[in-house]
Structure 1
Amino acid sequence: MKRKIWWSVPGTLPIHTRITLHSQHGPIGRTWLAKQFVLILEEYGENGRLIRAKHCGRHGGGNSIQIRAGEMSMGVLCSGTSARAVGLLFPRFSDEMWDMVVHTISGNATLTGSLLTGSFSTDIVDELKQKGIHLIPDHYRSVRAFCHCSDDQNPCIHIAAAWYFLAEILDEDPWVLFLLHGMTREEVLQRIGGHRDKISQPVPDSNEEQLIIQETGIPDSYDASGFFSCMGSADDVLTPVPQRRINPAMLLGPAPFKLGGKNLAKRIEQLYPVISSYAASLLSRE
């Protein structure tokens, strides 16, 4: 049974009840995302300290966990009743980086679907990584960690224990990964929704629109009822442009979805020469 969320979210009071790691043996992290997050720590940290950090999180515990935009703080108890205050500061994305995140996800139906269902696929992380944006830190030193214990090594056992706690938080709520870079779940979804609305209703440039009208013979206005019947005013009937073929898909503007990395309109465009050829063969038979 999934346990109740036990960490503190923005706007709530710190949790003072001592909690321990959910995993009491073996590796930390159930999901691929949490496992990858743990791997960043364990590729850098000293093995002896990491072993002690797991023991600390499992048998000592932590309290006062808080997660805000760009940071996590908590108290880590390894022995006795006093907790060491630990802080983790994550690199907050710039406005330009957030624009890239929103553009990348909203422009791909698969990534958008994965995000909306809460099943964060590896594709989201990989696509953003190719653009130089790391949802999962690319290196332990990308995160600034603080602890006031006497150990001069970073990570010390308290910092490593906090990292393990955060990995289990990501198991339960992967949206925290966005919050650690500066934006809440609601803010991300709102921006993605706004961007998708914008690209689903493209507004052509006035010059581009006029060019389409000139190339296809589409008048500025016409009676739509006469479009297929070719009845009505002669000025309102569409006439073909001699020796020029126009792809109907290009009149609709870009599609709001992608297929195989290409805009869907571009994919459909490739079908029209085949359709045109087939239609011509049928007409020749008639």
Structure 2
Amino acid sequence: MQANYDFQASREWWSQRWLELLDSYRFKKRLERARNYARQGNILSIKFANAKVLAKVQGSEPEPYSVSLALDSFSDEEWGFIVETMSQRAIFAAKLLAGEMPQNIEEVFTANGLSLFPFTLPEVHSKCSCPDKANPCKHIGAIYYQLADRFSEDPFVLFQLRGRTKEQIISDLRKLRSANISDAEAQTLDVRESINNQQTSLNIDNFWQYNQPLESSLVVIAPSTGETVLDVLGSIPLAKEDENPASINSTDIVMKYLNSLYKDASQKAFLAAMNVGNQ
């Protein structure tokens, strides 16, 4: 299989994080040969057998070497906690479904006492059929670099190395999110039912009615001495009579009339209230 391997500085952060692990290896010459193997198409095949990577790498001999690579898989219980934590942060599910690794995805794993990325090379269990006793040899190193490309194309490959496929994670996320939505809808219905029950127990028509007798000593009836509605609203902006400037302004006439009506209405209301209070 011809590898289209390009070492770009702009590589996705999760792929770069994986390569940083390999870059910690002190035998730089061996890593250079591994990069060349990845560039030049020496990786003939690469596939997954559950959480293990199996590959064929062409070396200096006619027969290609067999390479295997694996990480420690998380248990079903641990993955249950991980996916539940993911489901509580919608941005994680949205980015993963879009083929992007959330920048702070590692928080999901550390919150459950785990790490998505291995800390040291010995945490990566790798073997090669070549006679080189060093690990990683250049054939294993080439698979490291090839996996970085795979991670860039599909971040779920990294999860698969930890024991969960893309289909399993998406299915579990959808189930948990559906359950969360159902719970939220049930809570909303409970609140609506409670509000409806409160509303039906009130008689809106009689809301302002007070049918209990009033204590006469507590009732004070007095005319208003503050600003009236007319004072607050001000003069009505009627047109001026330009033809006869000496005549009384139309606005003044209307306002005087309204003031007299307001005083008359206020006096009648006061007398009516006094009569009711004396009954």
Amino acid at match of 2:31: L
What secondary structure, in the 3-state scheme, does the structure 2 residue paired with 1:201 have?
helix
Are the equivalent residues in 1 in contact too, given 2:35–2:145 (CA < 8 A)? yes
Query: 2:53, 2:110 → 1: CA distance?
Result: 23
Indicate the structure (1 or 2) with the bigger Cα radius of gyration. Answer: 2
Task: Tell me: CA distance 1:105–1:188, structure 2 relative to 1, closer, same or farther (3 Å).
Answer: same
Return closer, same or farther for 1:226/1:29 CA change in 2, 3 Å cut-off: closer
CA contact (8 A) 1:29 1:168 kept: no
Asked if 1:31 is matched to 2:3, the reply is: no
Supply the distance in 2 between the matched residues of 1:141 and 1:28 (Cα, whole angstroms): 26
Q: Cα deviations across residues 143-177 of structure 1 (Å, max 9, x unaligned)?
A: 21001211111111111111111111111111111
Corresponding position of 1:230: 202
Residue range with higher mean Cα deviation, 39-48 or 155-164: 39-48
Q: Give the equivalent residue in structure 1 for 2:214.
A: none
Number of corresponding residues: 199
User: Does 1:157 pair with 2:129?
Assistant: no
Matched, 1:89 2:70: yes
1:19 and 2:2 are equivalent in the alignment? yes
How many Å separate the matches in 2 of 1:226 and 1:119?
Answer: 48
Q: TM-score, normalised by structure 1?
A: 0.62
Whether 1:76 aligns to 2:57 is yes
In the alignment, what sits opposite 1:250?
A: none
1:23-64 CA-to-partner distances (Å, cap 9, x unmatched) read 2xx468821111111111111352121011111222251112
Aligned residue among 155, 160, 163 for 1:179: 160
In structure 2, what is the equivalent of residue 53 of structure 1? 34
Checking the alignment, whether the CA contact within 8 Å between 2:106 and 2:115 is kept in structure 1 is yes
User: Aligned partners of 1:100 and 1:222: how far apart in 2?
Assistant: 34
Residue correspondence of structure 1 range 142-153 to structure 2 within 5 A: 142-153=123-134
Letter in 1 for 2:160: L
Whether the aligned pair in 1 keeps the contact of 2:78 and 2:112 (CA below 8 Å) is no
Aligned identity (percent) is: 29
Q: Which residue type is aligned with residue 44 of structure 1?
A: Y
- Residues 1:74 and 1:45: Cα distance change in structure 2 (over 3 Å): farther
CA RMSD of aligned residues (A): 2.9
Higher relative helix content = 2
1:228 deviates by 6.0
TM-score by length of 2: 0.63
1:129 corresponds to 2:113: no
Cα offset for 1:131?
2.9
CA contact (8 A) 1:28 1:164 kept: no
Which residue of the partner structure matches residue 263 of structure 1? none
Specify the alignment match of 2:234 in structure 1: none
Structure 1 alignment gaps of length 5 or more: 1-17, 204-208, 233-286
Match of 1:101 among 82, 88, 106: 82
Q: Larger deviation: 127-136 or 89-98?
A: 127-136
Unaligned 5+ residue runs, structure 2? 205-279
Q: Which residue of 2 aligns with 1:261?
A: none
What secondary structure does 1:97 align onto?
Answer: helix
* C-alpha contact 2:82 2:112 (8 A) present in aligned 1: no
SS in 2 for 1:227: helix
